[in-house]
Structure 1
Amino acid sequence: MQIHALGLEEFCEEEYALIGIHTALEDYRLAYLLNKNLDTRFAKSKKDLEFENNKNKLSFSIFNFLHKKYDFEWFLIANSFKKENKTASNELLLSTETKTYLIPEKKKVDYFIKISGELAPQYILNIVQRIKKIEQVITSYSIDKNTLKSKDFLIF
């Protein structure tokens, strides 16, 4: 009799596709252009994706869209959080900026699109090609979630 042991990760593994986007656009502007070009309806989430790291509160912008026809949930997630640090020195107010990344191994990616559900590779390729056609987007591409060390941050 053959025994098959299931690991906890087999129960917790969420099916989703991940797309990386490189652009200088603000999050709301990118959401608008995606809505216009992909027939989506991204809307700002009521809550941002928040974490606490070394007593610092990190907040990553998130937009979501529920595709009712196919029952896919889409998320547009900022990959970086900027915090301004102010220090007083010799009657001068100095300001520095600290940038923290949601997925540190993908520092060059400005935004991620996470599409929950089992999707055909051709569907994702089509989405990537349509995003690349947006003039203000530098590039976009599919990301293999299994290559990410920090993929746990994308489970919400």
Structure 2
Amino acid sequence: MQIHALGLDDFGEEEYALIGIHTALEDYKLAYLLNKNLNTRFSKSIKDLEFEIERINASFSLYNFSSEEYSFEWFLIENSFKRENQLASNELLLSTETKTYLIPEKKKVDFFLKISGEGVFNFVENTVQKINNIEQVVTSYSIDKNTLKSKDFLIF
């Protein structure tokens, strides 16, 4: 009987490019503007990205688009989740807000644009330029996924 062992190198790492977007826009407004300027058709996913991070259930908004022209899969992912905590103290109702990040080492990034597929890296520079031309976007830039400690949260 022949035995075959699989090593970690036998599983290919997903090829994707990552763009960080800084904006004060709501998720649906950003998706609309990206559709308008990038000729995409982002739509809200049926389910958001849900994780338990530091004993807090966090839900991150997710939009997706499949491009048949380039064989790319696009994802617009919110980087932060806000949860309101209410405390009752001596007849007062105190409220605090807890913010949880999908990628904590990139707290200033409001949204990530993940583009999956073969040969996406040549396509990213042009996409970043188009996103930066959107008036309501402060800035966007390519992010090297290998520098992220929390990049596993982007695998879905």
Structure-to-structure mapping, 1:24-103, within 5 angstroms? 24-103=24-103
For 1:86 and 1:10, the matched residues in 2 are separated by 49
TM-score w.r.t. length of structure 2: 0.93
CA, structure 1 residues 83+9, in 2 after alignment: closer, same or farther (shift >3 Å)? Answer: farther
Aligned equivalents of 1:12 and 1:80: distance in 2?
Answer: 29
Cα deviations across residues 32-66 of structure 1 (Å, max 9, x unaligned)?
00000000000000000001134321100000000
Question: 2:16·2:120 contact (CA, 8 Å) conserved in 1?
Answer: no
Q: Cα distance, 1:119 vs. partner?
A: 2.5
Contact 1:62 1:77 in 2 (8 A): yes
Aligned CA distance change for structure 1 residues 120 and 114 (closer, same or farther; 3 Å): closer
Structure 1: give runs of 5+ residues left out of the alignment.
Answer: none
Q: What's the counterpart of residue 112 of structure 1? A: 112
Shift of 1:122: 3.4
What is the alpha-carbon distance in structure 2 between the residues aligned to residue 120 and residue 26 of structure 1?
26
Query: How far apart are residue 126 of structure 1 and its match?
Result: 0.2
Tell me if structure 1 keeps the 8 A contact 2:19–2:113. Answer: yes
Per-residue CA shift, 1:102-129, capped at 9, x if unaligned?
A: 0000000000000001225331000000
Q: TM-score when scaled to structure 1?
A: 0.93
The question of whether the paired residues in 2 share the 8 Å contact of 1:17 and 1:119 is answered with no
Counterpart Cα distance in 1 of 2:15 and 2:59: 24
Matched residue SS, 1:46: coil
Runs of 4+ displaced beyond 4 Å:
none
- CA distance in 2 between counterparts of 1:37 and 1:114 reads 17
One-letter amino acid of the structure 2 residue matched with residue 66 of structure 1: S
Residue 6 of structure 1: how far off its partner (Å)? 7.4
RMSD: 1.5
In 2 relative to 1, CA 155–102 (structure 1 residues): closer, same or farther, beyond 3 Å? same
1:86-113 CA-partner distances (Å, limit 9, x unpaired): 0001101110000000000000000000
Q: Counterpart amino acid of 2:57? A: K
In structure 2, how many angstroms separate the alpha carbons of the residues matched to 1:10 and 1:133? 41
- The count of residues paired between Structure 1 and Structure 2 equals 152
1:125 is paired with a residue whose SS is: helix
